[in-house]
Structure 1
Amino acid sequence: LVSWLCKLIIEANHHVTNVIPESALLICFGFILGGIIWGADKVQTFTLDPVVFFFYLLPQIILDTGYSMPNKLFFSNLGGILVYAVIGTCWNAASVGLSLWGCHKGGAMGDLDIGLLQYLLFGSLIAAVDPVAVIAVFEQVHVNEVLFIMVFGESLLNDGVTVVLFNVFDAFVSLGGSKINAVEIIKGIISFFVVAFGGSLMGFVFGLLISLLTRCTKNIQIIEPGFVFVLGYLSYLTAEMLSLSAILSIVFCGMCCQKYINANMDEKSVATVRYVMKVFANGSETIIFVFLGISAIDPTIWVWNTGFILLTLFFILVYRFIGVFVLTWILNKYRLVPLEFIDQLI
């Protein structure tokens, strides 16, 4: 309720959201709420539990994003999107992690005591791109549709790739650096592709299942939206249970069933699915950003290191600049419509 009230205040002040992204404003509201909570009770902490995030909030957002994806435009630019999402994300994660580790060895991190694997784990985490603020700006300035779908599609698949990378490096950290050899690295690489493609395939299967079931519901329209939400969520849980990419699974489930749902279901059911999905996704996004602000106020769960923060920001800007321009230069050799220099800057 508090998160939605924050959202209501933001929507009532459009002149502010034209300057500051909505996600940043929600985090600021979280700072204020966190300060009030911390001032009232310095023992009580309010953090977003990973289980709540991954099993209750994230699926709503990703399902809505996949369902809203313009499929024809997405698949016509799939090659470029995959290059940015897979190669670009791996480049960002590895380059940032290795550079921070090099600076650590040079003494730039002070008394921070973490190893190479932990830096690579952090690099995989920081390689994620939040599409919410970017897409909001794109819609305001009306960028061309190719640039829009490239950024939208990359940021969507980027989330799935990032989680897979994070899990691989997390397994390496748990295993311990001394036990990692060439065999374990090869297993990690194979695991990356199996998890990613397996999750995508799982999503297609559930998307087809939704499409088939909605063909049989013409006389019982009241249950049509239920099939979409329950089976969409089940695609996420099934992929998670099988250690596949749950994010990619629910993304491709939404994309696959989108066209057939519109053709198979009653207009009222289609409208219900669309609006309920938007409500859940928007509510989940708002809660996540507000909790980010609340969590940041509690000094018991973080440590401030100026060198680490500044170097991270610097390396993110530098390596993403390099990655985008190099990958775009390669892609433009094979694209019918090359990406312009201004598109690359954006």
Structure 2
Amino acid sequence: MTSLDDLPIRDDLRGKSPYGAPQKHVPVALNVNENTHPIPEDVAHDIVARVAAAIIGLNRYPDREFTELRTALARYLGHDLVPEQLWAANGSNEVLQHVLQAFGGPGRTALGFGPTYSMYGLLSSGTGTGWIAADRDGDFELSPETAVAAIERHDPDVVLLCSPNNPTGTPLSLETIAAVADAARGVVVVDEAYHEFADPGTPSALTLLEGRPRLLVSRTMSKAFAFAGARVGYLAAAPAVIDALRLVRLPYHLSALTQAAALGALAHADEMLAMVDEIRAQRERITRELRGLGFHPYRSGANFVLFGGVADPHAVFEALLDRGILIREIGLPGCLRVTAGTEAETTAFLEAMASFAPSTAANA
């Protein structure tokens, strides 16, 4: 039987592994930062009605420019954005792929600050873009000085800033973002996939767009909107950047069904986001109680918590899985990551973690 090694794939893809988190059916799944709260029933019915109406016209191609959706996204984001400044695709991963196709490629480089979202490196490889992982400061923070020094050292064509960072949850200051945007020669993408979970009043990088034509701000509906299965990501930038992304997208890349579903969710944005406060409360509860157990939770502005102080992360991961609780091994020594779920899910996780507490081991 032919194996992957027998096929004439690109040399730069040999030996690489595809992105993937464990997909297991368990009672408590807290491993991929989904919003574990269900879509409100009345909102679901409206979305179903909109999708049903779209089905009648599936014999025709969808609106290639998804004009109504871009208008709704601009309205949702505010900041005086207009539809011409909005882009959307099948998840923010495809949005970022479009950016790398347009501004990266062979002979060009993309830079991020590790540890960060693993798809950045994979998307770079897939587009023939060289990937540079620069270092962060202690506790996964990123100061303006550290960030600008990396930009000046490597002179990348694309900079990817995850704000807050995944997998660490670390918030990123506007000061650092502005410093990078002003220092970089190429485009700077601020990935705000988890921005809605930040502490109230936390400013968005959208406030920095004016006067910075090479600054791009990416978002997703997967997290706060509980829309992971719909695959809708979007981006705000100068109209010229949107024109560049048109050059690389596939024709009619957003289906009529996707557009209809996204419009339905955005029409009920307030209701869809009503669970964000509860998720934020569970995140703070996880941080507080893990610290009380003797673990080291890191600062998080997302819907998850990275925590250290785990003597054997894989053993704890497997023990939790045996109890029907799935969290995430991310390869950082002594660390695991858990999504902030419902109150019941959080309780199940914390009760299970109590038996692995460093403080418990110290007193044994």
What TM bracket, shorter-length normalisation?
under 0.3
Q: Select the structure with the greater relative contact order (CA < 8 A; seq sep ≥ 6).
A: 1
The TM-score with structure 1 as length reference comes to 0.25
The TM-score with structure 2 as length reference comes to 0.25
Looking at secondary structure, tell me which structure has more strand per residue.
Answer: 2
